[in-house]
Amino acid sequence: MRLHVLLFMLLFLTLLSPVRSGLASGENHCLNLAGICRRDICKLTEDQIGACKRRWRCCRSWWILIPIPTPLIYSDYQEPLKHKLK
């Protein structure tokens, strides 16, 4: 009986993913490009290379300081419509 439990636990543990879960695809893409997710604005020495969440921007130091080519990031995300007050 203990052997069955041990084998079941080994099978179950191998099915679990060892990677970090919970990161959105935009955040993951930003980290892969050596960027940092910042709220609202980037620093003066950084360029905005994408978006992590609704109000979070993906920022990275200027390419002159760190010579890494930056691919363009296109997203299907659109900001929600703002209600007009009457």
> Structural domain tally of the chain?
1
Q: Is residue 40 part of a domain?
A: yes
Which residues form the domain of 60? 23-65
Q: pLDDT: is 65 or 3 the higher one?
A: 3
pLDDT tens, residue by residue, 40-62: 888 888 888 888 888 888 898 87
Q: Is residue 17 part of a domain?
A: no
Nearest to 38 by CA among 25, 26, 55: 55
We report the CATH number of the domain holding residue 37 as 3.10.360
Token pair 């080994």 is at which residue? 10
Nearest to 53 by CA among 81, 33, 23: 23
pTM listed for this prediction: 0.49
